[in-house]
Amino acid sequence: MQSNQPTSQRESIFNNEVISRFELYNSLFLTLPFYKVKDTGTLLPLFIKSCEDGVKNHQTPARLIEDFFKKYTTNTDSKDVVDLLFRFIQYIERQVVLFDAVEDASFNKLNVSDEQSSLRALFLKANDDKTLHEKVDQLIEDFSLRLVLTAHPTQFYPGSVLAIINDLTIAIKGNDITTINQLLQQLGKTPFFNKKAPTPVDEALSLTWYLENVFYFAAANIQSNLNSLLSEYHIDPKKIIELGFWPGGDRDGNPNVHAETTLQVSKMLRQILFRCYYRDFRNLKRR
């Protein structure tokens, strides 16, 4: 019974912080000044329910769609049918982005560290256990983590969408309804897909957004916290986390990656790293 408590507590936090807030902000989509957005948002839940019922009844996709349009709309023209289905896809794409932003905004509340299983708790136990102390020392000495960032043309948002997600997450953290509404309007007018397939350099450029805005800070914070903890227990700091970068370097497996591609991506990574360092330097200079 006791083991289920953290799970149920986390589920409760998830429902309150993510599901409830998503449903609240999701309702803003219906108020956006876009073509038939209210009809789309109203019919989408009905379409989802029709799909669920149709699958249970072993209906074919064609029959399922046909029955839905007969029951809930007056559309019979194939062009109108395709138009609504396309708007469903657009609507769902933006709902996914909103959900991601809400979940990101709630990250700290959803991922509260368990003190009993933390590294600090392990060090405290090791103080009174010589054997455990030696094992912990050896673990710190041997352990390292190398995260290799990779990408696929179908697995990333354009930079313009990533920027909106970032701003949306900040606005949701502050419950800034006005800004959230403005960002959802931007999201409604922002294309999610490029008209042409991305090059390996394009893939790398998209992934560097995560490198610069997420992993750079996360890796530094984890390493800093670990160094502070090791210093408390008179253990020399050790570099634990390394980051690798796959796009632009897959010279064996991707025929579109050439020597010039690798050079371009290398220069781009160097520029981004210098930009991160310069930003940190400016922040330190202000103090």
pTM above threshold 0.75 = no
Structure confidence at residue 5 as a pLDDT band (50, 70, 90): very low
Residue range 73-82, pLDDT digits in tens: 887 788 888 9
* Mean of all residue pLDDT scores within the chain: 84
CB atoms under 10 Å from CB of 124, counted, come to 11
E strands, the chain, in order = 145-149, 241-245
**Count helices and strands in the chain by DSSP H and E runs:** 13, 2
Q: How far, CA to CA in Å, does 161 sit from each of 153, 164, 166, 212, 267?
A: 15, 5, 9, 16, 24
Task: Report the C-alpha gap between 44 and 23 in whole angstroms.
Answer: 14
Residue range 103-156, pLDDT digits in tens: 989 888 887 665 666 778 888 888 788 888 888 888 888 888 998 888 665 556
Task: Report the C-alpha gap between 217 and 223 in whole angstroms.
Answer: 10
Residue range 29-68, pLDDT digits in tens: 888 777 788 888 889 999 999 999 999 999 999 999 999 9
Phi, then psi, of 146 in degrees rounded to 5: -115, 110
